[in-house]
Structure 1
């Protein structure tokens, strides 16, 4: 929906993915968990916070399919885990600019918001996969086990970074 000047109005204009942790924190219900996502081209790594929003725990990795199927899976998890918001890793380039993957991530978040008004924080994920891989190597996991769990570990790393920042707003 647009006004005479072509500006977006209505729910789509109000519901936008956030990049400001303070604005995100203001939209969260007390005691609601957060679901962390590491969006890849083929998979979605998932992590979940505790109700105190102190600790992120890697959950699982899901194969990506059509957007509607991915959204249905995510919203089912939101309901089942009583999640009050999503933290989605934003894959910025090392110089802080946005490339095609960052644009695709923003579009994914906007499309989710078109289906349901839920707080979404886009969180800088630079080097999250590298950090997650180091943790898995330190845990002495085999290459095969690392490959199976890297996306959910990266999601946990992304979510933990956001949780650490959100503590400033409690």
Structure 2
């Protein structure tokens, strides 16, 4: 990725996928073409880069996605540590090794997982096991919803 991509670079009216890349999983969410609502889609258990990328490419094709909003785990002080560098490397690999051309936007995901966990405990009264199954895709939806809200505000 040679240059940073801004929210304004995303194609208007395109379906967007939200990604919450972690070390063991990638949470995936999908937004509607009107950029109103982000919905959890699935959690990909990470294996090898090639297999992970193939699954993402299948989802992009199935949903006819025109852009990606990727959660960037920024530290509370705004700096980027090893986890953020790992996410940026994933994006670079998708572009350089897999030839992705659709825009990838990074979105500050600070506290997204803890906000989702809090909701699942307090509001949904979900068991720990069930939370573990849904938290990553819910966090991806939380990340994508933040970006969709910002896109609508910029209109």
TM range (shorter): over 0.9
Q: Which residue of 1 aligns with 2:102?
A: 118
Are 1:17 and 1:110, in contact at CA under 8 Å, matched by a contact in 2?
no
Structure 2 Cα separation of the partners of residues 141 and 50 of structure 1: 27
Compute the displacement of 1:31 (Å): 2.8
Q: CA deviation at 1:51?
A: 1.5
Residues 13-162 of structure 1 aligned to structure 2 (within 5 Å):
13=2, 16-18=3-5, 20-22=6-8, 24-25=9-10, 28=11, 30-114=12-96, 115-137=99-121, 138-162=123-147
Tell me what 1:167 maps to.
152
Alpha-carbon separation, structure 1, partners of 2:21 and 2:100 = 19
Aligned residues of 1:128 and 1:154 also touching (Cα < 8 A): yes
Unaligned 5+ runs, structure 2? none
Distance 1:75 1:118 in 2: 11
State how many pairs are aligned.
Answer: 152
Taking the aligned partners of 2:21 and 2:29, their CA distance within structure 1 comes to 12
Corresponding residue number in structure 2 for 1:7: none
CA-based RMSD? 1.3
Deviations along 1:45-92, whole A, 9 cap, x unmatched?
010001111100011111011111111111110010011000100001
- Alignment partners' CA distance in 2, 1:76 and 1:62: 12
* Higher Cα Rg, which structure: 1
CA contact (8 A) 1:34 1:49 kept: yes
Question: Could you list the runs of 4 or more consecutive aligned residues of structure 1 that deviate by over 4 angstroms after TM superposition?
Answer: none
Partner-residue secondary structure (3-state), 1:167: helix
3-state SS, counterpart of residue 86 of structure 1: strand
